[in-house]
Copies of this chain bind each other. A is one copy, B any other.
């Protein structure tokens, strides 16, 4: 009997955590991570106790980390399969697809509206929270393999230019996804009929960017 009660309590705790995570992600995306307090999240998540966020997650950085982790775990599954398929390829396009499609595919899987792209760009551009995204990237085995695969296709590119273009590709993916996510959320026009079309256009563009002639030696 004690065990059953415990399990029900744990389930309730887990459901509460899920509601808090989803509410926080939405509020962060719509109003900005710094504009939203833990108390506001607790209230919007229907928690009687305004300290619920703190109780379940700790600090705001811990909450941000938990949201990021939930999504990166799901994207990792998509990426692992793609990277396995691309193994041994010397075509830049295959590796760029492994970079783009797990993100756009995940957004498509979530159904409309999504908030994750807007959440991501905020975390990435925040000096204090930025580390959380690096942490997530460093624990992704498939992302490490992707980077190795991509670099092997571009042997002539100096490491500093690789770093520059890698940052550019990341910004491009994030910003173009944010733009579509926001347009869908607001019922505005989007440039792309689907996440899949967006991915195809992005992959073309990023392949061009990686293969661009280097006129400038850093």
Q: Is the CB of B191 within 8 A of A216?
A: no
Can you name the residue of chain B whose Cβ is closest to the Cβ of A213?
A: B204
Q: Binding site of A, secondary structure by majority: helix, strand, loop or mixed?
A: helix
- In the bound assembly, the distance between CA atoms of A121 and B48 in angstroms comes to 38
A32, A175, A178, most chain B CB atoms within 10 A = A175
Nearest-neighbour CB distance to chain B for A212, whole angstroms, equals 2
Does A200 reach chain B (CB closer than 8 Å)? yes
Q: Is the CB of B127 within 8 A of A182?
A: yes
User: Interface of A with B (CB < 8 Å)?
Assistant: 32, 34-35, 93, 125, 127, 160-161, 163-165, 167-168, 171-172, 175-176, 178-179, 182, 186, 188, 191-192, 197, 200-216, 218
Q: A182: which B residues are within 8 A, CB to CB? A: 125, 127
Q: Is the CB of A204 within 8 A of B215?
A: yes
Can you name the residue of chain B whose Cβ is closest to the Cβ of A214?
A: B204
Q: Is the CB of B175 within 8 A of A201?
A: no
Q: Is the CB of B176 within 8 A of A172?
A: no
Can you name the residue of chain B whose Cβ is closest to the Cβ of A211?
A: B208
Q: A209: which B residues are within 8 A, CB to CB? A: 205-206, 208-209, 212
28 contacts between A and B (CB under 8 A): A32-B32, A32-B34, A34-B35, A93-B215, A125-B182, A161-B201, A164-B192, A165-B205, A167-B191, A168-B176, A171-B171, A171-B172, A171-B175, A171-B176, A171-B179, A172-B172, A200-B215, A201-B218, A203-B216, A204-B212, A204-B213, A205-B212, A206-B209, A208-B208, A208-B209, A208-B210, A208-B211, A208-B213
